[in-house]
Homo-oligomer: A and B are copies of this chain.
């Protein structure tokens, strides 16, 4: 069975985000004033698994091993049937 997976990766609260502060500064140079800038990454893919639980377990392992750095990232997994 195929499942659509979406992994949302964000920096943990309190982590400094050089990417976000660069965006903020660059926008300020163009005279746009924005605050509380945050960036998130989303990785989407399709996975073949027996059922939703197995898929969820596998994706969690992928996050721990490769997709995220659990020390600095929070992640949120959404799985839906294709």
Interface residues of A (CB under 8 A from B): 5, 20, 23-24, 26-27, 30, 32-48, 58, 61-62, 65-67
Partner of A41, one of B30, B37, B39, B58: B39
- Give the docked Cα–Cα distance between A80 and B5 (Å): 26
Q: Which 8 A-B pairs have the closest CB atoms?
A: A40-B42, A34-B45, A37-B45, A38-B44, A35-B46, A36-B46, A34-B47, A39-B43
Q: Give which listed residue, B23, B46, B61, contacts A67 with CB less than 8 A.
A: B23
Query: Is A37 a contact of B33 with CB atoms below 8 Å?
Result: no
CB-nearest residue of chain B relative to A34? B45
Given A39-B41, A39-B43; 14 other pairs, CB 8 A cutoff: A27-B62, A32-B58, A33-B47, A34-B47, A35-B48, A36-B44, A37-B44, A37-B45, A38-B44, A39-B42, A39-B44, A40-B41, A40-B44, A42-B42
